[in-house]
Amino acid sequence: MRRDTGSGTWRTRIRWNTDSGAWRARLRRGICIGSQPGPWKRGLVLAALAVLLGLLMLLHAYIPNRAKNLGSLVETFLPWFGLFIPVLLAGALWRRSASAVAALLLPITVWLSLFGGLLSDKSHPGSDLIVVSHNVGADNPDPVGTARDLVTSGADVLALQELTRQARFTYERELANAYPYHTVQGTVGLWSKLPLSDIQPVDTQMDAGPLAATKPFERRADARALRTTVATDHGPLAVYVAHLGSVRVNPRAGFGTDHRDRNAQALSEAIAAERNERVVLLGDLNGTMNDRAFAGITSQMQPAQDAAGDGFGFTWPATFPVARIDQILVRGVKPKSSWVLSATGSDHLPVAAGISW
């Protein structure tokens, strides 16, 4: 009887423990299910970051420059903000957040509206004139090789910036056979297969104004912009070559662009005063055309890369380009193609464009 009673009691204990364990397990599952947010309530932080990213790209023009030129800094690297989109998307998928995925539609739409057109090839054959611009680099260890590479580019008009006194004679010697016409004003020069006229330096206020007081055709060792007329079969073409001031990023001072911005404003005024309807600007402008500092220029001229390029056309630094600061802009002529040439001994990549009347 004890055995039976004992076994019965033991069976009762087992049943009680089993039932109570199942009850506790069901209770825990119920609490977890009830407390876990749904897909539209998960990842709200990711959703907020996606909205902020989209608003940043959409309203970049409203970011003030008063605080260390933050607006210009954002606009210089604006295309790269698109890299945050796949990062946020991965986080949204990991969190299984429907709200974050939906919020990502804003930055995706904004980025595509700003830069989607650069992803396709817009070039067309049949250009009348090929122009090339290259900052050859003051520290270029191989100016001879750079000059020979530029000759093979097929350029009809070739603009060079950052010419040192020693390198200038090297380029003049190596380019003489291919380009019978050339001019050098300070550290910028233009070589052409077609005749040149009306050659003069351009005051970009590089040194706060002294250049403006010089005589019209006086050569200046410190000039960094020039203007000339190229005689083409379709009529005169005004060509500007410019090398604007450098920019610096400093944690304390921020994005230092004061000199460059002053140069850009002076250059835009010179182009505005240009009487020739057909104008080409070639040079290292030390900034991207998204930067508000160039609004005075882009309101008058069209970047060839935007109209007839294939891709972003980044040019600096040559080893891993992250920004297009070497530019070709046109007015009164049509860009048919635009591309970036192979690296030379410079820290910049050369840029080229085919234009047509």
What are the sequence ranges of the domains in the chain?
1-36, 44-119, 129-356
Query: E-strand spans in the chain?
Result: 129-135, 157-161, 181-185, 188-192, 196-201, 225-232, 235-243, 248-250, 254-256, 279-284, 302-303, 326-331, 334-340, 351-356
Is the pLDDT score of 17 beyond 60?
no
CATH 1.10.10.10 is right for the domain spanning 129-356: no
Is the pLDDT score of 34 beyond 70?
no
Whole-model pTM: value is: 0.85
Q: Which two tokens stand for residue 124?
A: 């067309």
Burial label, 335 (beta-carbon count in 10 A; 0-12, 13-18, 19+) = buried
Dihedral-angle region of residue 98 (phi above 0 means left; psi in -120 to 50 means alpha; beta otherwise): alpha
- Distance between CA atoms of residues 63 and 86, nearest Å: 24
The arithmetic mean of pLDDT across residues 120-124, rounded, is 94
pLDDT tens per residue, range 159-214: 999 999 999 999 999 999 999 999 999 999 999 999 999 999 999 987 543 333 34
Is the pLDDT score of 29 beyond 90?
no
